[in-house]
Amino acid sequence: MKKSLIVLLMLALAVSMVFANAAAETGAGKKTVLNVMSFTDEVPKMIERYFELHPEEAAKYEVNTTIIATTDGLYQPALDEALAQGGAGAPDIYCAEAAFILKYSQGDASQYAATYKSLGIDVDKLIKEADIAQYTIDIGSRNGELVGLGYQATGGAFIYNRSVAKDAFGSDDPAVVAEKIGAGTQSWDKFFEAAAELRKKGYAIVSGDGDIWHAIENSSDKGWIVNGKLYIDPKREAFLDLSKKLKDNDYHNDTQDWQEGWYADMKEAGAKKVLGFYGPAWLINYVMAGNSGDTYGDWGVCASNVGFFWGGTWVLANKDTTKKDIVAKIITWITLDYSETGLQYFWANGTLNGEGGTKDTVASGTVMAKSDGKLDFLNNQNMFEAFVPANKYANGKNLTQYDETINTYWRDQVRQYTAGAKTREQAIADFKTQVKENLDVIVE
């Protein structure tokens, strides 16, 4: 029995080595390999579509994709490792999310990014013609040179449940709801008045404190690090109090974003029915639509009281790539092509893989102007009406390369404070400790 086990083991080892070898060999066929690294399958699928639309290129190239989700902070170490090692296995095209893009465009890892100009892309001309949103350029530039661009425009608005609005405010018209939450005021005062009103009728205004956090985070004047030191912008510090206010007055369902309870509120399955969610267009199409259950079609979108942007993916190229040609073509197609055959047009109209796909707001103003943002999720409202103006509030100047990590610490401490587990001072002190001891940031 034991002998056969050993034999079996060796056989298995031999077989798997053959397989592994074979798997590695297929890369060395007659096609050139293009390495792509991302944290979702969005960009890889775009590249796939590009090759479908350009079969003459498809014949020459083979795409090797690596997708590692950002959970548990696994994506960045993997990407960093791949970039630092270099060589044939390094990614030619890689993606970074808003939470950490700065590290790759301006920070510690920006040395690996190629400028779009060096790839042969006529940046200045295309940016002007495509009318690309300024904030995505700001974020993606290193010393004034563009190294990365986002394909989405993720300005945020307020997405609300029409039935709840009708019952609480008497109308579900976007203008009315916008007025109720104080659109254009850049403050939360009217928001809380509306919250009280909703509470009286047994509704929650938002699902959890995460919903107002993104608006607060990106509307702050300065980022987390100023002159190399940790800085807590007063607007972000106010989140402690605003979150507590929400909790103490029972204005929300105390859910945590990206957890089950938060999703449940999208289909009115939570403790109280929720008025709405703050978010950009992708929140609607990639999160809410699939989780809205029976409430699908009963939503609307209006301007937010505090302008912000949330999320977005930037596409970068490796400065040591040996396939500059195709990389330039793909990146241009994704981020700067404003024609009707460019990615942005497909993305905005949901026609990337045929009709009826999910729509989104894109970075090119030119494309937005000629696209149709009507969604049946929103009872046929044109979402661009709310999202395009929202983009002008997007501030690309208050990000840092450690945002992903620092935000996690901050949210953790705020949660402890609102749950009553520690005092406000203690929460701030503990937050500072976390940043000081895990990151190379000076904390006073």
Partner 1 sequence: MKKNGSFSYARYGYLFSIPFIVAYIIFHLYPILYTLIIGFTDLKGLGKTSFTFLANPLQNFKEILSSELFRTALKNTVVIWITNFIPQIVFALLFTAWFTSPRCKLRGQGFFKVVFYMPNIMTAATIAVLFQALFSYPTSPVNDLLMKLGIISSPFNFQVSKLSAKLVVAFIQFWMWYGYTMIILISGVLGINPEIFEAAEIDGCSSSQTFFRITLPCLKTIILYVLITALIGGLTMYDIPRMYLNGGPDSSTLTLNVFIYNQAFSGSYMYNRAAAASVLVFLLIGICSVFVFRMYRDKDQKKTDRVRRHLAAGKEAVNE
Partner 2 sequence: MSKSITRVKRVGKPFVVLMYAVCIFFAIMSLFPFVVMIINSTRNTYQVQQSALSFIPSTHLLENLKILTSKDIFHPLLGFLNSLIISSGTTLCAVYFSTLTAYAIVAYQWKLRNAFFTMILAVMMIPAQVTSIGFYQMIYRVHMTNNFLPLILPAIASPSMVFFMRQYMIPSLPMEIIESARVDGCREFRIFNQIVIPMVKPAMATQGIFCFVASWNQLFLPQILLTRKNKYTMPIMVSLLKGDIYKTEYGAVYLGLALTVLPLFVVYFVLSKYIIAGVALGGVKG
Contact with partner 2 (CB under 8 A): which of 19, 108, 221, 249? 19
Residue 41 is a binding residue for partner 2 (CB under 8 A): yes
List CB contacts of 244: < 8 A, sequence separation 6 or more.
Answer: 417, 418
Name which of 264 and 378 has its Cβ closer to partner 1.
264
Cβ atoms 377, 366 nearer than 8 A? no
Contact with partner 1 (CB under 8 A): which of 13, 73, 120, 372? 73
Helices marked H in 67-224: 75-85, 101-105, 123-130, 134-139, 162-169, 174-181, 189-200, 210-218
Q: How many CB atoms lie within 10 A of CB 75?
A: 23
Residue 421 is a binding residue for partner 1 (CB under 8 A): yes
Of residues 105-124, those binding partner 1 (CB under 8 A): 108-109
Cβ atoms 162, 299 nearer than 8 A? yes
Q: Enter the DSSP assignment of 402.
A: T
Contact with partner 1 (CB under 8 A): which of 355, 425, 440, 444? 440
What are the percentages of helix, strand and coil residues in the chain, rounded to 5? 50, 15, 35
Q: Could you tell me how many residues of this chain bind partner 1 (CB under 8 A)?
A: 31
Residue 261 is a binding residue for partner 1 (CB under 8 A): yes
Comparing C-alpha atoms, which of 335, 314, 326 is closest to residue 92? 326
Cβ atoms 301, 386 nearer than 8 A? yes
Contact with partner 1 (CB under 8 A): which of 13, 20, 84, 238? 84
Residue 118 is a binding residue for partner 2 (CB under 8 A): no
Name which of 100 and 393 has its Cβ closer to partner 2.
100
Rounded to 5 degrees, what are φ and ψ at 154? -115, 40
Q: Are strands 145-146 and 141-142 parallel, antiparallel or unpaired?
A: antiparallel
The contact pattern for partner 1, residues 239-258, with x = CB under 8 A and - = no contact, is -----------------x--
Name which of 351 and 416 has its Cβ closer to partner 1.
416
Instruction: Say how far apart CA 88 and CA 408 lie, in whole Å.
Output: 34
Q: Enter the DSSP assignment of 353.
A: T
413 contacts which partner out of partner 2, partner 1, none, CB within 5 to 8 A by kind?
partner 1
Contact with partner 2 (CB under 8 A): which of 124, 229, 258, 438? 258
Contact with partner 2 (CB under 8 A): which of 31, 49, 58, 66? 66
Residue 171 is a binding residue for partner 2 (CB under 8 A): no
Contact with partner 1 (CB under 8 A): which of 305, 313, 395, 413? 413
DSSP letter string, 71-97:
GGG-HHHHHHHHHHH-GGGS-SEEEEE
Please report how close the Cβ of residue 128 comes to partner 2 at its closest, in angstroms.
Answer: 35
Instruction: Say how far apart CA 158 and CA 185 lie, in whole Å.
Output: 14
Instruction: Say how far apart CA 121 and CA 99 lie, in whole Å.
Output: 26
Residue 271 is a binding residue for partner 2 (CB under 8 A): no
Name which of 179 and 403 has its Cβ closer to partner 1.
403
Residue 52 is a binding residue for partner 2 (CB under 8 A): no
Length of the chain, please?
444
Name the 3-class secondary structure at 113. strand
* Contact set with partner 2 (CB under 8 A): 2-3, 5-6, 9-10, 12-13, 16-17, 19-20, 23, 40-41, 44, 65-72, 74, 77-78, 81-82, 85, 89, 258-260, 263-264, 290-291
* Contact set with partner 1 (CB under 8 A): 72-73, 76-77, 80, 83-84, 108-109, 256, 259-261, 264, 402, 404-405, 412-413, 415-416, 419, 421, 430, 433-434, 437-441
